Amino acid sequence: MNHSIAGFSKLSKEEKINWIANTYFAHPTEAIATIKNYWNSDEKLQQLHDEFIENTITNFYLPMGIAPNFVINGKTYTVPMVIEESSVVAAAAKSAKYWSTRGGFKTTVISSEKIGQVHFLFKGNTEKLETFFNTIKTKFYTATESITKNMQQRGGGILGIELRNKTAALDHYFQLHVTFETKDSMGANFINSCLEQLAKTLKEEAQLYTEFTEEEKELQVIMSILSNYVPNCIVRAEVSCKVEELAEKKIDYPQEFAEKFVQAVRIAEIEPFRAVTHNKGIMNGIDAVVLATGNDFRAVEAGVHAYASRSGSYSSLSHAKIEEGVFSFWMEIPLALGTVGGLTSLHPMVKMALEILGKPSAHELMQIVAVTGLAQNFAALRSLTTTGIQEGHMKMHLNNILNQYQATTEERKAIALHFENSTVSHSSVVELIENLRK
């Protein structure tokens, strides 16, 4: 059956919906009702949503939840999270509460450089190209002045332009490798506008450069585009406390918990099959806040996973250690985020999320997002490691209790059978022994 259609984008919203309903559904009226059920009753608000993307027919809702009690560098935050997976928000909130009484999270923005590249082919003398680049380098800055002026006033702009020779990997391939500081904006449009101007200047100046042959003058720009790999836009988030301070309801044996936790992280550091799931848990927290604040979670995901592979093997983003009786858990991750521009000024819920966070700068948002990822990872690892610890411990402990109460062989059999499907605790074992002896 052919379901192709010409000129779909030119149809009205109503016509698009009718076509979808009549083409794909046995009961078109029901399909139309469902689609319209998710429209916003406020027409202006609905139009705003319709214009975010193309060919819009309705809205697709994701729940927005709240994780309170995040203490970051001594300041308390309530973190909005947009995600469809159950228990993620609960886990983040639980971790936040847990660490709020153990010194909270510490964060640092290590660097905030972003990268863009002009990719071009040059069939000629490499040394000549390098001389040409050094001769015209200042013109790149002059040519982009009109674009960078406002950004420079905010303390951003182009930080550096390098010529990179990539011919060893691909014949005739060179790059203008450009670093940027975009302050509170994510900066994608700004970076791409600068790169397109740099490409134009590169082509124009090549035509005018008298040292080039006719072939060399015809260098070919393939594309100009920002990179979502931002290994110099890094934020560090960490928690630490004395091992004994890890103790709580579920952690009766803090030393053993800490050691097992560290081993769980080490497994994720060396085993890619575990690392992918381990890091996915981190991204549960990160993506939820990135979405809530109107940022691009696909860009963040791509950059983070590339960073996790930077050693040549995919590895854990987080790390843990015990040193001189202190447990530390931390990660350093690349995050290119913005709090101005894009959806941040358009989407009413994004505005609200940023208000809840206290209108953070991009640097502050980087820190909040990283902390939420680390909190999520801590919650997952605590859950994965403690149940085993408690069960294992109490099974070992069961023999000690039975010996203490001089249980007979028959009593031991009955007690073992009872606890096959029940959690072992000292009081429940004693209670069972007393009942058996009545």
Tell me whether residue 85 is one of the annotated catalytic residues: yes
Please state the rounded mean pLDDT for residues 136-165. 96
Q: Are 256 and 137 in contact (CB under 8 A)?
A: no
Q: How confident is the model at residue 248 (pLDDT cuts 50, 70, 90)?
A: very high
Catalytic residue among 14, 42, 51, 85: 85
- The mean per-residue pLDDT over the stretch 22-45 comes to 96
For residue range 67-76, what is the model confidence (pLDDT) as tens digits? 999 999 999 9
At residue 16, the 3 state secondary structure works out as helix
Q: Domain locations in the chain? A: 8-50, 65-109+235-389, 114-226, 405-436
Compute the average pLDDT of residues 176-205: 95
Distance from the first to the final alpha carbon of the chain: 76
Residue 420 pLDDT level (bands cut at 50, 70, 90): confident
Model pLDDT, residue 423: 77
Asked if 50 is an active-site residue, the reply is no
415 Cβ contact list (under 8 Å, min separation 6): 398, 402, 407, 429, 432, 433, 436
Predicted structure pTM score: 0.86
pLDDT at 19 over 60: yes
Q: Which CATH architecture has domain 114-226?
A: 2-Layer Sandwich (3.30)
Q: Which of 217, 393, 397, 418 is catalytic?
A: 393
- Average pLDDT over every residue of 252-264: 96
Residues 49, 172, 280, 418: which is the catalytic one? 280
Active site residue 171: no
pLDDT of residue 394: 65
Contacts of 69 (CB under 8 A, 6+ apart): 76, 78, 93, 96, 97, 100
**Catalytic residue chosen out of the listed positions 184, 205, 296, 364:** 296
What was the pLDDT predicted at 395? 64
Which amino acid, residue 211? E
- Average pLDDT rounded to a whole number, residues 140-148: 96
- Residue 168's pLDDT is 98
Tell which CATH architecture fits domain 65-109+235-389.
Alpha-Beta Complex (3.90)
pLDDT number for residue 391: 56
334: its two tokens:
């690349």
pLDDT at 361 over 90: yes
Note if 296 is an active site residue: yes
